[in-house]
């Protein structure tokens, strides 16, 4: 695959591609509900505490909804480069009207919009960092660190690449056992699905490499808070 081609823009700025993804993602999000709740619980705030968090690569807002539902006095900033994705999530965001705002932000650049505060109480990402090149992953982690208040936490929920081909085979075998239709879908992808799959995996890297990027950015308290096969929640905080 030609990694110089920006397939992210081609896919996530396409109304048809986004609508197809939203239809398929409904079942996926049911499977991710537990992890979304865990990310909300990981944020170190009491039930009545006010705080503002940034949901980078927010997509349709699944992570924000989990956090806003768990923390009734939290406010959110949802940032994504696909206005189509954010628009697709608007109907589900209605219960949180007045507690969030959206803005457009292309994470493939280091140009943060003026609408994002210089200091945030927490930042989360989910199912998006793996779309970035290694250079941008490193750059983004440093930028996130700089936008956190001292003591502020960053959490990422994302898939990672297996560190060894044998491990990858184990992951696939277990995944196929849990979802007997997975192999069938893998062998019979539509052109749209194949394009999204190739875009999904092209910049994916092992977990240890990403934890190293967090350390280089200055994060402390780095931990793997949840992991199952290729999916993981990791994070750290900006030291006081």
pLDDT tens-digit series, residues 126-167: 999 999 999 999 999 999 999 999 999 999 999 999 999 999
Alpha helices in the chain (DSSP H): 7-12, 15-42, 62-70, 83-93, 134-146, 165-178, 182-187, 191-201, 207-217
Domain ranges of the chain: 7-237
Q: 89-95: list long-range contacts, CB under 8 Å, 24+ apart.
A: 89/58, 89/59, 89/60, 89/61, 89/62, 92/60, 92/61, 92/65, 93/61, 93/64, 93/65
pLDDT for the residue 126: 95
Query: In this structure, is the dihedral angle defined by the CA atoms of residues 46, 48, 49 and 55, taken in order, positive or negative?
Result: positive
Range of weakest confidence among 18-32, 105-119, 158-172: 18-32
pTM of the model: 0.87
Instruction: Out of 3-12, 40-49, 155-164, pick the least confident.
Output: 3-12
Look at residues 51, 56, 25, 34 and name the one whose alpha carbon lies nearest to residue 235. 56
Q: What confidence category does residue 224 fall into, taking pLDDT thresholds of 50, 70 and 90?
A: very high
Q: What is the secondary structure of 146-162 as a DSSP string?
A: HTEEEEEEEEEEEE---
Q: What are phi and psi of 189, to 5 degrees?
A: -75, 145
Residue 26 confidence (pLDDT): 66
Q: What is the per-residue pLDDT for 1?
A: 43
> With 50 as the cut, is the pLDDT of residue 228 above it?
yes
What is the mean pLDDT of the segment spanning 179-194? 78
Q: What percent of the chain has pLDDT over 70?
A: 87
**Mean of pLDDT values over 26-31:** 73
Lowest mean pLDDT segment, chosen from 3-12, 63-72, 100-109, 206-215: 3-12
* Cα distances (Å, whole numbers) of residue 122 to 18, 68, 195, 238: 28, 13, 33, 10
Contact status, residue 156 vs residue 234, Cβ threshold 8 Å: yes
Q: What is the pLDDT of residue 27?
A: 66
Compute and round to an integer the Cα radius of gyration of the chain. 17
The superfamily in CATH containing domain 7-237 is Vaccinia Virus protein VP39 (3.40.50.150)
- Say how far apart CA 34 and CA 66 lie, in whole Å: 10
What's the average model confidence in pLDDT over 205-212? Answer: 98
Is pLDDT above 70 for 9? no
Across all residues in the chain, what is the average pLDDT? 89
Residue 2: pLDDT band by 50, 70, 90 thresholds?
very low
Burial status of residue 131 (CB atoms within 10 A of its CB: 0-12, 13-18, 19 or more): buried
**For 139-153, 177-191, 212-226, which range has the lowest pLDDT when averaged over its residues?**
177-191
């Amino acid at each position: 695959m030609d990694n110089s081609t920006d397939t992210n823009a081609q896919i996530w700025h396409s109304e048809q591609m986004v609508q197809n993804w939203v239809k398929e993602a409904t079942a996926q999000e049911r499977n991710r509900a537990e992890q979304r709740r865990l990310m909300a619980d990981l944020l170190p705030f009491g039930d009545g505490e006010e705080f503002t968090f940034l949901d980078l690569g927010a997509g349709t807002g699944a992570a924000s909804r989990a956090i806003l539902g768990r923390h009734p006095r939290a406010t959110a900033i949802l940032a994504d480069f696909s206005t189509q994705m954010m628009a697709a999530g608007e109907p589900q965001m209605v219960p949180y009207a007045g507690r969030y705002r959206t803005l457009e932000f292309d994470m493939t650049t280091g140009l943060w919009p003026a609408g994002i505060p210089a200091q945030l109480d927490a930042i989360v990402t989910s199912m998006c960092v793996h779309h970035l090149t290694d250079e941008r992953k490193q750059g983004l982690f440093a930028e996130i660190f700089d936008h956190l208040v001292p003591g502020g936490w960053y959490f990422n929920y994302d898939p990672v690449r297996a560190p060894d081909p044998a491990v990858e085979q184990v992951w696939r075998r277990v995944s196929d056992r849990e979802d007997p239709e997975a192999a069938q879908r893998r062998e019979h992808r539509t052109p749209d699905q194949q394009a999204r799959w190739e875009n999904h995996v092209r910049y994916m890297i092992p977990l240890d490499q990403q934890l190293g990027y967090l350390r280089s950015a200055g994060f402390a308290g780095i931990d793997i808070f949840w992991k199952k096969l290729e999916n993981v929640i990791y994070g750290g905080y900006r030291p006081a």
